[in-house]
Amino acid sequence: MNITEKILSRAAGKDSVSPGEIIEASVDLAMSHDGTSPPTINTFNKIADKVWDPEKIVIVFDHNIPANNIGSAEFQKVTRDFAKKQGIKNIYSHGEGICHQVLPERGYIKPGTVVVGADSHTCTYGAFGAFATGMGATDIAMVYATGKTWFMVPEAFKVNINGNLREFVTAKDVILNVAGEIGSYGATYKSLEFHGETIDSMDVSGRMTICNMAIELGAKNGIMEPNENTLKYLKNIEVCDFEVVKSDKDADYEKEYLFDVSDMEPQISCPSDVDNVSGISKVEGTSINQAFIGSCTNGRLEDLRIAAKVLEGKKVHEDVRLIIVPASANIYKDAMREGIIDTFIDAGGIVCNPGCGPCLGAHMGVLGKEEVCISTTNRNFVGRMGDPESFLYLANPAVAAYSAVFGEIRNPQNE
């Protein structure tokens, strides 16, 4: 069996499972945020009185924090009241950061476990060798009530990535390149299993970026076998009592892909589909009004460092708004200690509190009609960051920062 099948078979209490099989699985951890908790709670209240295990539920306020309108404030009040009533202590409601950064950072994610969340980018946790997937509020309500859910065991794609990345080419470019090849619907309900020397040597931040965007290819989950960097990360935050699960050497895969990224230039996802990907050389010179660096995809310290490296001693173009949102409060504090925040402010950037903010067009950076943004987020759908007639390009943090200086998409490799 492959890694996903092994994890699901354990969760189902079975010796083995196979693709297409319907199973009932025990859940190790469940999550919802300020946007999805209220509809989850509404359904939960119709079917149960008490959650199955308050210690295995985590709630994070990140999508509209601080509340930007009355509706958001009411959502957050409902969620706080529910957490108190149910004895859920694992609630982060004071700007601790984005759920997909907070959960790994605070030690909730372990290899070999089943994690579900009321957010599509829950697949991020596959970077730690967990089976992690997003679900709708109704399904999460059932998990909150019973600790169980059902899955159809997915077929798996083995994605092999080899080669050393050049300067200013990052994990974001790797997954955009994969998206361009496989397509937005090319891996629908598949398990994307990432292998290869590039993945084996990658830091935790990059691995999270790649698994985060598995859903953008339609995948049920993205997953990697934990490497040395991952195990070191877990040890440093005192996460123990887990079992590393690996695929058998003779595991079956529906498809296998091979990518060599040694000579790859920065990749750009152009409006308005994530798989509309091309090398930066084909879109250089495109004028922009806004640049955004942050999100659960690219708001980590490594992302802020590379953006600050590009911005050091430079000024943001007078016609561009540069917005930076660290993925967590801990990252924000680390960036302050390293002088990164000073670099952003001195360059003319706007640094906002940790959270999702502009990524979903909620607040702090909404786009107007015909405005163009280059962003480190994971989606560029029509209207994703504001007006349906705005345009969104996805890129890595170095490209976003460098483009902000010139007012147009530019390649920092050419400096």
Asked if 373 and 404 touch (Cβ cutoff 8 Å), the reply is no
Q: What is the mean pLDDT of residues 261-281?
A: 97
* pLDDT tops 90 at residue 128: yes
283 in Cβ contact with 152 (< 8 Å) = no
Where are the extended beta strands (E) located within 343-398?
A: 350-351, 372-375, 391-394
The pLDDT, as a whole number, for residue 363 is 85
pLDDT in tens, 361-392: 988 999 999 999 999 999 999 999 999 999 99
Label residue 23 exposed, middle or buried (CB < 10 Å: 0-12, 13-18, 19+).
Answer: middle
Cα dihedral sign, 285-212-362-355:
negative
Of all helices (H) and strands (E), which one includes residue 171?
Answer: helix 171-182
Domains of the chain: 3-259 (3.30.499.10), 268-414 (3.30.499.10)
Tens digits of residue pLDDT in 250-264: 999 999 999 999 999
Quote the pLDDT of residue 415.
81
Predicted local distance difference test score (pLDDT) of residue 403: 98
What's the pLDDT score for residue 362? 84
- Whole-number average pLDDT of the chain: 97
pTM: 0.96
